[in-house]
Amino acid sequence: MDRLMVKYAEKLVSVGLVEPGEAVMGVLDADLEWNRDDPRQDVLNRIFQELSINSLICALPAEPYRTMITSLAESGDDAIYPKDCETRTFIHDLPLSRSWDAATIVAALKRRKSVIIPDKGIITFGIVSPEQAFIVFSSVCFAVFVTFFSDYLTAARHGHLTAAQRKAFQHVLQTIPAHIDLPSPNLTPGPFCTESSVMAAMIEAGGKTVEYELVDSFFGNISYRAGDTIYISQTSSSLDELGGCIDPCPVDGSSCAGVTASSELAAHREVLTQTPARAILHGHPKFSVILSMDCTEDTDCENRNECYRRCPKKRFVNGVPIVPGEVGTGPFGLCRTMPAALRNHPGVIVYGHGVFATGRQDFREAFDTLMTIETECRKTFFERVRQYDRPVT
């Protein structure tokens, strides 16, 4: 357990979510162990006493997340309500506690996977392993980022920006990394015909997707078709740790290997059988997700609040289709909405969800498409802000 605490404490720092030495981690094995002493442990010990958990993370997030949380908390609501797909599906909302009180914090954690105390930090937990606590912490930060920028763009368009929002926005711009046009990685060329070469290419591409910050938390998945087999990352696997986490699934479904495969296996299968693509790379680059939810249509649209699964409009950003769809095989499943768009485009953005990019031979084309879409979406976001938020003269 000590090894796992060190691993995830270091990972929080390496991905820019917390400052070095800030995270407090506890793991309950035979005894409750902490990675370090901290004044917050009096309350954190109570959480272990009240909940059936085996691990916990408490940390004040690094910038820009800290400023974003403070700004979003100024609404006075008892929670932050993100609209992106992953949060809506797995976390639902982000409870806020206005006080560092054990009873209040425990009550929030009994109904949700996290709680945010704006001046103390984010608390998340794991029932099975510290990895779960890390995943939720990362997911909360992703949701905060997307919500902050989405809300700002919407308020700018409607002329509702406040002085406090503008101040927070300017501070955030000083703390987010400047965009750098990185060269594409030198990924292995395909096609790949053996299981070992397929898996090596998937591991390589997945690692680069994380390194280039085109995915957060455990979001994202990757697949490759070789003959009659689709190789796909397992559900909840991290793209930078795919060794041992790739399932070979027969195209005809004649094996139960798909039981542990990504929940988006059905969508991957339809794309890989209905288009010339052999490779699919799915990431959650932040500005692509943000722009997919920037709807300029009439606010009285009959599909309002159902946009993510049943928007009937043909929408594009920089020529890239934005399609609705849910995870799974239901009437609004991605397996029904996405393949048609990918027949004529190398990549699509799924509303509030992320980018699916394809390659005909290997992951080079898919990676380039994913990176280009996010680069252009980031530029377009700030162009729209400047367009909407013009000073009154």
pLDDT for 324 equals 87
Taking Cα atoms as reference points, which of 170, 177, 93, 107 lies closest to residue 139? 93
pLDDT for 263 equals 74
Band of residue 89 on the pLDDT scale cut at 50, 70, 90: confident
> Is the predicted pLDDT of residue 391 greater than 60, yes or no?
no
> Is the predicted pLDDT of residue 163 greater than 90, yes or no?
yes
> Which residues make beta-bridge pairs with 80?
94
Band of residue 326 on the pLDDT scale cut at 50, 70, 90: confident
In the chain, the largest separation of any two C-alpha atoms, in whole Å, equals 67
pLDDT for 259 equals 63
Band of residue 335 on the pLDDT scale cut at 50, 70, 90: confident
- DSSP code at position 258: G
d(CA 49, CA 14): 31
Report the DSSP pairing between strands 279-283 and 315-317: unpaired
- DSSP code at position 125: E
Contacts of 203 (CB under 8 A, 6+ apart): 242, 243, 246
Helices (H), the chain: 2-14, 41-50, 65-73, 85-86, 102-111, 130-157, 163-175, 195-211, 265-274, 286-292, 307-310, 334-337, 339-344, 363-388
CB 161, CB 152: distance < 8 Å: yes
Report the DSSP pairing between strands 347-350 and 320-323: parallel
CB 187, CB 364: distance < 8 Å: yes
Where does CATH 3.40.225.10 sit in the chain?
2-175, 195-386
CATH fold of 195-386 = L-fuculose-1-phosphate Aldolase (3.40.225)
pLDDT for 91 equals 79
Contacts of 251 (CB under 8 A, 6+ apart): 225, 228, 229, 230, 269, 272, 273
| Tens-place pLDDT, residues 74-86 | 987 899 999 887 7
Mean pLDDT across 69-77: 90
Question: Which tokens belong to 268?
Answer: 């991957």
Question: Which tokens belong to 41?
Answer: 């442990």
Return the HEC string of 315-371.
Answer: EEECCEEEECCECCCCCCEHHHHCHHHHHHCCEEEECCCEEEEEECCCHHHHHHHHH
Coil, strand or helix at 256: helix
pLDDT for 331 equals 72
| Tens-place pLDDT, residues 217-264 | 667 899 999 999 999 999 878 898 899 999 999 998 766 565 666 778
How far apart, in Å, do the first and last CA atoms of the chain sit?
61
d(CA 3, CA 355): 34
> Is the predicted pLDDT of residue 180 greater than 80, yes or no?
no
> Is the predicted pLDDT of residue 193 greater than 50, yes or no?
yes
- DSSP code at position 126: E
Task: Kindly tell me the burial class for residue 254, based on how many C-beta atoms sit within 10 Å of its own C-beta (0-12, 13-18, 19 or more).
Answer: exposed
d(CA 109, CA 306): 28
> Is the predicted pLDDT of residue 56 greater than 90, yes or no?
yes
pLDDT for 297 equals 61
Average pLDDT, the chain: 88
Question: Which tokens belong to 387?
Answer: 């367009």
Task: Kindly tell me the burial class for residue 248, based on how many C-beta atoms sit within 10 Å of its own C-beta (0-12, 13-18, 19 or more).
Answer: middle
Coil, strand or helix at 188: coil
Mean pLDDT across 385-393: 72
pLDDT for 235 equals 82
Q: Which residue has the higher pLDDT, 29 or 273?
A: 273
pLDDT for 299 equals 62
Q: Which residue has the higher pLDDT, 210 or 304?
A: 210
Q: How many Å is the Cα radius of gyration of the chain?
A: 21
For domain 2-175, give the CATH superfamily: Class II aldolase/adducin N-terminal domain (3.40.225.10)
Mean pLDDT across 336-356: 91
d(CA 382, CA 174): 14
CB 130, CB 5: distance < 8 Å: yes
pLDDT for 393 equals 36
> Which residues make beta-bridge pairs with 220?
none
d(CA 222, CA 272): 12
CB 324, CB 308: distance < 8 Å: yes
| Tens-place pLDDT, residues 95-136 | 999 899 999 999 999 999 999 999 899 999 999 889 899 999
> Is the predicted pLDDT of residue 332 greater than 80, yes or no?
no
pTM confidence score = 0.92
Question: Which tokens belong to 184?
Answer: 């594409």
pLDDT for 392 equals 45
